Amino acid sequence: MSTLTYITKKGSEIESVFDDLAALRIAVFHDYPYLYEGNTAYEKEYLKTYSDSENSFLFAVYDAQKMVGATTCIPLKNETAEIRKPFEDAGFDINTIFYFGESILLPQYRGNGLGHRFFDEREAHARSFGNFKITCFCSVDRGEHHPSQPENYRPNDVFWQKRGYIKEPSLQSFMDWPDIGESESSGKKMVFWVRELDY
């Protein structure tokens, strides 16, 4: 782990590492539960949401010249409609919510505390504005008996609960992406986790 270096970027600066971030997202999200059949062109279009927001944030981990881990966050009001909608429909003030995007790390770098570091960095960024009350993220819900679920699969629920996040089944959205082996995107149910931001 001593060979790792860390970078932070905000707003439009994030575009400078789009290629690295796209490659990492495609690699990590290929695995269960996302099973994502990604491509760089789609990724760059998706990531523009983050470079277009002046208050977005990226924290990334490099091993030499390779990005091996990354996490992002953005004010919920700057996110896409499908991310905002569950909170708008439930009557939340989305101006007080910070949304956490991906938290991704190649398997060989896991188990060394970087998952906690990702949350620490994002929560600190959200806290720095002084007016955000809630942080949230969403995770894909594949159901209990998906045929592609590995035998030794362990969801991150316990880790997220230890970080103070509560799963809110009433807050759901659908996102489209192609599963492995698919040429067309299909809708995936996403469930949100929320926590009050402490100061």
Q: Quick one: 67 exposed, middle or buried, by C-beta within 10 A (0-12, 13-18, 19+)? A: buried
Can you tell me whether residue 122 is helix, strand or coil?
helix
Helix (H) or strand (E) holding 119: helix 114-127
Tell me the per-residue pLDDT of 148-175, one tens digit each, with 9 for 90 and over.
888 888 889 999 999 999 999 999 999 9
pLDDT of residue 3: 85
Integer Cα distance of 112 and 130 in angstroms? 30
**Domains in the chain, number:** 1
Tell me the per-residue pLDDT of 54-84, one tens digit each, with 9 for 90 and over.
999 999 999 999 999 999 999 999 999 999 9
Tell me the per-residue pLDDT of 119-132, one tens digit each, with 9 for 90 and over.
999 999 999 999 99
- Domain with 168, as residue range(s), is 4-196
Integer Cα distance of 33 and 166 in angstroms? 20
pLDDT of residue 98: 98
At 61, the amino acid letter reads: V
CB atoms within 10 A of CB 82: 14
CATH of the domain at 184: 3.40.630.30
pLDDT of residue 152: 85
pTM score > 0.75 for this model? yes
At 118, the amino acid letter reads: F
- Buried b / exposed e over 2-14, threshold 16 CB at 10 Å, is eeeeeeebebeeb
Q: Where does 84-196 show beta strands of DSSP type E?
A: 97-105, 134-140, 166-177, 186-196
Q: Where does the chain show beta strands of DSSP type E?
A: 4-10, 57-63, 66-75, 97-105, 134-140, 166-177, 186-196
